[in-house]
Amino acid sequence: MNYVRLPIALIALIPLMLALPFGMDIYVPAVPKITQFFHTSDAIMQSTLNLFMVTSGLIQLIIGPLSDTFGRLKTTLVCAFLFTCGCLICAYAPVISMLIIGRVIQAMGASGLLMLGNAIVRDLYCDTELAIAYCYLNGVISFSPLFAPFIGSFIDVYYGWESTFLCLLFIPALTLLLYWPLLGETLPKAKRAAWNHNLFKQYLGIIQTPTFVPYAIASAIGMSYAFIFCTTSPVLLIKVLHVPEIQYGYYFCFMGVSFLMGSLMSANLVKYLGIYHSVRTGFIISLIGGIWMLIWHLYTGLTVNNFVWPMLVIGTGGIFTMGAATAGAMLPFSNQTGLASALGGSFRFIFAGIIGLLIANHIHTSLPLAIPAILFSIFGLILFETNAQTLKTTC
């Protein structure tokens, strides 16, 4: 594969990187209304978010090796088709069970597109340039929390929640218009791996690489903050604090700002700090945000301000960590890019989904975000300090 300029690659990968976050974010403002529409509980409605994440994690374990065998282009088109089917099923779901099924199919396509975006970047770049590329791709993802809730709120209020899913069909359309002509196939046949039925053994080999697990854990921790905010914010802001749905996007965009800030900071500093120290810096930032949120909550109780402002710091640290850690996890695998990307992505999404399931019945305060931010950041700092010698040798 010939070298592709980073701006061209970023433009081509926009729809792949936005499928999953837009699939998550655009309908979040309508969650309380959909809950009422189907006469269901908050916990069951949360399953449409949590199962979306768990499915996203599991399916990548299959899509990754498929893309290593059949190439990125064909696999991308299949995932775009699955995403389209999932959106249509959700839009016309007559009962909550059908909506959940649609969300699972939608997640299969969306997570596959995101994983393929990460794998394609690894096909094209390496070393510090790879880390910079991942940081900028996280910046692309930030457009979802910045704009998707505003779009979703407007569409739901004026056209109904079903239309939010139909709006998502622009993702597969852009995949055909941008990715296919600008990049096409990035994995030559000479570099493809024969299909191996013993995927467990292959994944075990990746896990046994000394640097993979610590960096994968760090990446999962960084992503979990964004997902916790995504699942808790509609309940806390709309149902508990009575923020009008049409204004919800304004507060949700704080997560987008944190994505953008963390991505830009990480992209500019990783070349000076290196991957290892960039990850540690992200942990420190999110720890500060978690402590700030906890103290503020204990002092005043739940308010809009003590939920969204500390989240800006927590999210910035989380994305700072995730961009550098994703690159650190992927660096050793130039010939198993799809497998490594799939395993890393699977770990991130399953981790976030499990955290979401654990807090689903306890969304009454900002503590489900503050406490994980503190505990996970401390654990991450200890993990990286304990494995410092091994992790530094790869960066």
- Position 175 scores a pLDDT of 95
- For 203-234, write each residue's pLDDT tens digit: 999 999 999 999 999 999 999 998 898 888 88
Mean pLDDT for 17-36 is 90
Confidence of residue 289 (pLDDT cuts 50, 70, 90): very high
Q: What's the whole-model pTM score?
A: 0.80
Mean pLDDT, rounded, of the chain: 89
- Position 164 scores a pLDDT of 94
Helix, coil or strand: residue 305? helix
Quick check: is 191 in a domain? Answer: no
Helices (H), the chain: 6-25, 31-37, 42-70, 72-91, 96-124, 127-141, 143-159, 162-167, 170-174, 180-182, 199-207, 212-233, 245-300, 305-330, 337-359, 367-386, 388-392
Quick check: is 274 in a domain? Answer: yes
Which are the contacts of 178, defined by CB distance < 8 A and separation ≥ 6? 11, 12, 14, 15
Q: What is the 3-state secondary structure (H, E, C) of 95-149?
A: CHHHHHHHHHHHHHHHHHHHHHHHHHHHHHCCHHHHHHHHHHHHHHHCHHHHHHH
User: First CA to last CA across the chain, in angstroms?
Assistant: 24
Q: What does the DSSP 8-state code read for residue 30?
A: G
Quick check: is 51 in a domain? Answer: yes
Confidence of residue 1 (pLDDT cuts 50, 70, 90): very low
Q: How many domains does the structure of the chain reveal?
A: 1
Quick check: is 188 in a domain? Answer: no
Quick check: is 176 in a domain? Answer: yes
Confidence of residue 122 (pLDDT cuts 50, 70, 90): confident
Quick check: is 194 in a domain? Answer: no
Query: Does residue 395 surpass a pLDDT of 80?
Result: no
- For 328-373, write each residue's pLDDT tens digit: 998 888 777 778 878 888 898 889 888 988 887 888 899 999 999 9
- Position 371 scores a pLDDT of 96
Q: Report the CATH number that the domain containing residue 261 is assigned in CATH.
A: 1.20.1250.20
Residue positions counted in the chain:
395
Q: What percent of the chain is modeled with pLDDT above 90?
A: 50
CA separation (Å) from 83 to 73, 111, 169, 174, 354? 15, 9, 8, 13, 23
- For 89-109, write each residue's pLDDT tens digit: 999 999 999 999 999 999 999
Query: Does residue 196 surpass a pLDDT of 50?
Result: yes
- For 139-178, write each residue's pLDDT tens digit: 788 788 878 888 998 899 899 999 999 999 999 999 999 9
Q: Which domain holds residue 25?
A: 6-182+199-392
Quick check: is 189 in a domain? Answer: no
Quick check: is 193 in a domain? Answer: no
DSSP notation for 71-93: -HHHHHHHHHHHHHHHHHHHHT-
CA-nearest of 184, 182, 141, 117 to 330 is 117
Mean pLDDT for 129-146 is 81
Mean pLDDT for 303-323 is 92
User: Any idea which residue has 């500390």 for tokens?
Assistant: 310
Which are the contacts of 103, defined by CB distance < 8 A and separation ≥ 6? 48, 51, 52, 55, 86, 90
